[in-house]
Structure 1
Amino acid sequence: MAFKSLDELRAACLDLPAGNDAAADAVARRQDTLTKPRGSLGKLEEIAGWLGRWQGRKMPRLDKVKVVVFAGNHGVTAQGVSAYPSEVTVQMVANFAAGGAAINQLARLAGAELAVIPLELERPTGDFTQTSAMNEADFLGAVSTGYDAVTPDLDLVCFGEMGIGNTTPAAAIAAGLFGGTGRDWAGRGTGVDDQGLSRKFAAIDAGLARHAASLADPLAVAANLGGRELAAILGATLAARHHNVPVLLDGFVVTAAAAPLAKLHADGLAHTLSAHVSAEAGHRQLLEALQLAPLLDMGMRLGEGSGACLAVNLVRSALECHTRMASFAEAGVTDK
């Protein structure tokens, strides 16, 4: 998919298929026949129903699970908002390729394919305190790349990101979409000191002021204040909805990247679950704004899709119970 204009992308964000109620109802009916008190598996039963609804299957499956990590570099790092230099993005992409990162280990254990997609790392986005992070063509190109990364044959997809400095555009997007200042949304990211955190607050506030005229448009917020990897995540989340593929959202950056879809369409993120709430300052607040309840709270703040990939194991547990447990009739157990 190559989106040719913001209007074309906006139309795609508004034209979203609904979930399959009949499949979700069938999952719920089966759950009530299994050898357990009704509702006793709690969230696991809800996860099974969510899988069925968005896959359109009364017996969901997880044969093909994928983790897609998008990488980008950010001009706003010139404002001293990160504890690490931008070259670390390239170095970490190489580490992913060599199998040495946390996400490599978590993806293997979760039985998930891992794909890493770098987006013009040699050409950072614009410094949004001075100009737009991306012009329309750059933004649409990144969104389209993300869209094409999700195929209809997937049963579940997780998104991750790598981009030194990207908690700053994530916080800026959150503030642009939901109001507030840099201080309300920004955290320490990779571990900036107090002076770095103050610079981060100031950069976000400067970006919000510079782009104030466009804050009413969620897509303009994503283009002016975001980054290529965040735009790709937005496109990938949209593609997943169009292809009926359920999504596990990772931490603060991924959630902020997908948030414009929720601002454009009331049910824009209904096909997603929040895998975890990260230790990054604004994530819990962002999840509350989006009315998403996290599956895990592990104090993680790595990114890379690590929290989402960890939650794949919970989803697999929900599926195993749904598909492999015996019914009362099959087990010869008396149902009350």
Structure 2
Amino acid sequence: MPSPFADIVDLLNIVPQGDEAAVAVVRAHDGQLTKPPGSMGEMERLVEFLARWQGKGRPTLENPMVAIFAANHGVTDQGVSAFPREVTAQMVANFTSGGAAISQICALHELNLRVFELALELPTGDITQTAAMDDKMCAATIAYGMEAIAGKPDLLAIGEMGIGNTTIAAALYAALYGGTGADWVGRGTGVDDAGLKRKADAVDRALALHKPELTDPLAILARLGGREIAAMLGAIIAARQQKVPVIVDGFVATAAAAVAHAVNPAAIDHCIFAHVSAEHAHRAVLEKMGKRPLLDLGMRLGEGTGAALAAVLAKTALHLHSNMATFASAGVSGKAH
């Protein structure tokens, strides 16, 4: 009987390449703008990133989307969070009514905010007692996440909401990269020292319980992961296939990219990492994947806020590239030889 993950593995391994001809067009135009070459640093590279993965010498940001995936976790029964599980649904309502930080960022900067609820009334299994999901449910949730790009965004920023999910992300990192719970957990929503110890202990017990089945990255995701992480993986996969560049948020969202990277490192070439979280292990994860964060703002809110701010920078970078005068149009003398 074929694995439910067979098609997903194929999509992660057979990936479209970036368009270097489009990047060359961007660089040629950039060289004509009224500034010294390279003087805008990462802002120039953001435009190249958009061109490479949209496959367009004139990239667009007409429909930039921030997609937030929300789910609940059985591991919260282990006292790993400072907040009760009900807060996930309450915060989803806050997103849609405009009261959350991500809602305000998106409204101010004209980013399309979409919130995807993943069976909030049905938490995943408590990973210290049982598998989070079976393979079939995990594969179906990845497939659901692929639908995030149905609205045809030209940039996708992914984030999440889920009480308990920093514990889940820490468990995934420990299974993918080794180490103990203490190496990977952080304070999340603000747990005290006793809560931090409970988080580390929960990760260690989960690793011990599932050890025989942690045989490959997608099995790890099913046993230890969450629906929002599986759905973000689906969004990453679909975006690559449809030529949509992706901005990944913080500690938890990066776990989806880490699973993809563990299957095929090239599968996340179309992703940039918005920021390094104040969760201490996030920097280590990015280093494991050889990725450099765009921003370091000491943030650890989640809900896509870092990714949205990176999208704002991308919008700004593209606006400059598209609207600055050239040396010729401004009558400004070029570089002396």
TM-score, with length taken from structure 1: 0.96
Deviations 1:22-70 (A, max 9, x none): 0011111211121111111111111110010001111111000111111
Alignment of 1:111-126 (within 5 A): 111-126=110-125
2 CA distance for matches of 1:94 and 1:40? 43
Q: Which has the higher mean CA deviation after the structures are superposed, 146-155 or 265-274?
A: 146-155
Q: Would you say the 8 A contact 1:136–1:223 is kept in 2?
A: yes
8 Å CA contact retained: 1:275, 1:308: yes
TM superposition shift of 1:273: 0.8
In the TM superposition, what is the alpha-carbon distance from 1:240 to its structure 2 partner? 0.7
Aligned partners of 2:214 and 2:223 also within 8 Å: no
Alignment correspondent of 2:89:
90
The residue aligned with 1:64 is 63
Partners of 2:147 and 2:116 lie apart in 1 by: 11
Q: What are the residue-to-residue correspondences of 1:29-40 with 2, within 5 Å?
A: 29-40=28-39
8 Å Cα contact 1:156-1:247 kept in structure 2: yes
How many Å apart are 1:209 and its aligned residue? 1.6
- Equivalent residue, structure 2, for 1:156: 155
* Partner SS, residue 89 of structure 1: helix
* Alignment-mate amino acid for residue 136 of structure 2: A
- Give the structure 1 partner of residue 246 of structure 2: 247
Aligned to 1:173, the other structure's residue is in SS state helix
**Alpha-carbon distance, 1:153 to partner:** 2.5
Counterpart of 2:128 in 1: which secondary structure? coil
Tell me the residue number matched to 1:325.
324
* Paired amino acid for 1:279: A
Cα displacement (A) at 1:266: 2.1
Going from structure 1 to structure 2, the CA distance change for 1:152 and 1:264 (only over 3 Å counts) comes to: farther
Alpha-carbon contact 1:64-1:155 (below 8 Å) kept = yes
1:77 to 2:76 alignment: yes
- The question of whether the paired residues in 1 share the 8 Å contact of 2:68 and 2:161 is answered with yes
Is structure 2 residue 179 aligned with structure 1 residue 184? no
> Deviation string for 1:256-309 (max 9, x for gaps)?
122111111121111111111111121111111112211111111111101111
The alpha carbon displacement at 1:4 in A equals 8.0
TM-score calculated relative to the size of structure 2: 0.96
Would you say the 8 A contact 1:134–1:223 is kept in 2?
yes
Q: Distance in 1 between matches of 2:320 and 2:56?
A: 16
Pair 1:302-2:285 in alignment? no
Q: 1:116-163 deviations in whole A, cap 9, x for unaligned?
A: 111111111001111110001211121111111113731101111110
Tell me what 2:312 maps to.
313
Alignment of 1:206-225 (within 5 A): 206-225=205-224
SS in structure 2 of the partner of residue 70 of structure 1? strand
Q: CA-atom RMSD, angstroms?
A: 1.4
Output the CA distance in 2 between the equivalents of 1:309 and 1:171: 23
- Between the aligned partners of 1:153 and 1:167, the Cα distance in structure 2 is 30
Task: Find the aligned partners of 1:83 and 1:153 in 2 and give their Cα distance.
Answer: 37
- Count of matched residue pairs: 334
| CA distance in structure 2 between the partners assigned to 1:119 and 1:259 by the alignment | 21
What secondary structure, in the 3-state scheme, does the structure 1 residue paired with 2:149 have? Answer: coil
Contact 1:152–1:244 (CA under 8 A) maintained in structure 2: no
Spell out, residue by residue over 1:172-229, the C-alpha distance to the aligned partner (whole angstroms, 9 max, x if none). Answer: 1111111111111110000111111011101111111222223340111111111001
In 1, Cα distance between equivalents of 2:206 and 2:65: 34
The 2-side partners of 1:81 and 1:239 are apart by 32
1:178 & 1:30 partners in 2: Cα distance? 42
- Counterparts of 1:139-288 in structure 2, within 5 Å, are 139-151=138-150, 153-288=152-287
Extract structure 1 runs of 4+ deviating beyond 4 A: none
CA contact (8 A) 2:157 2:308 kept: yes
Q: Secondary structure at the match of 2:267?
A: coil
- 1:9-28 equivalences in 2 (<5 Å): 9-28=8-27
**In structure 2, distance between residues paired with 1:150 and 1:97:** 19
Q: 2:265 is paired with a residue of what secondary structure?
A: coil
Separation in 2, partners of 1:225, 1:246: 27
Q: Per the alignment, in what secondary structure is the counterpart of residue 234 of structure 2?
A: helix
1:175 and 1:29 mapped to 2: Cα distance?
44
Cα distance between partner residues in 2 of 1:275 and 1:70: 17
Q: Say whether the 8 Å CA contact 2:159–2:304 is kept in structure 1.
A: yes
Deviates more, 1:4-13 or 1:85-94: 4-13
Which ranges in structure 2 are unaligned for 5 or more consecutive residues?
none
Q: Is the contact between residue 152 and residue 245 of structure 1 (CA under 8 Å) also seen in structure 2?
A: no
